[in-house]
């Protein structure tokens, strides 16, 4: 029913579900730096822990607060930096 996925040798794991009309995942990330590629616009919210993001075209890390959402455009790569176990929600638009 709910598909689970893991990435980066299990340092990132997610569970897929439907959030209204959007596909969505909740997931967890261990401390580390991870580059993701998008196929669609993504709305990413930090649920627990810490997260910094470097968005395409930026050379600076942006610190994300718990419950803060940031938007990533489609067909780009972006990098997140995690300092402690963290959890996120991602909506695929």
Give the interface with a second copy as residue ranges (CB under 8 A).
Answer: 1-2, 4, 10-11, 13-15, 17-20, 24, 26-28, 30, 47-49, 67, 84-87, 89
Q: Which is nearer to a second copy, 1 or 37 (CB)?
A: 1
3-state secondary structure of 75: coil
Q: Which is nearer to a second copy, 11 or 76 (CB)?
A: 11
Q: Which is nearer to a second copy, 5 or 58 (CB)?
A: 5
3-state DSSP helix/strand/coil % of the chain, to nearest 5: 5, 60, 35
Q: What are the φ/ψ torsions at residue 71 (nearest 5 degrees)?
A: -110, 135
Q: From the CB of 60, what's the least distance to a second copy, in Å?
A: 26
């Amino acid at each position: 029913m709910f598909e689970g996925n893991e990435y980066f040798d299990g340092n990132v794991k997610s569970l897929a579900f439907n959030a209204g009309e959007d596909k969505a995942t909740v997931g967890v990330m261990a401390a580390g730096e991870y580059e993701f590629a998008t196929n669609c616009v993504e709305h990413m919210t930090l649920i627990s822990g810490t997260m910094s993001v470097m968005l395409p075209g930026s050379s600076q890390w942006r610190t994300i607060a718990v419950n803060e959402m940031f938007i990533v455009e489609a067909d780009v790569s972006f990098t997140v930096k995690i300092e402690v176990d963290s959890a996120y929600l991602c909506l695929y638009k």
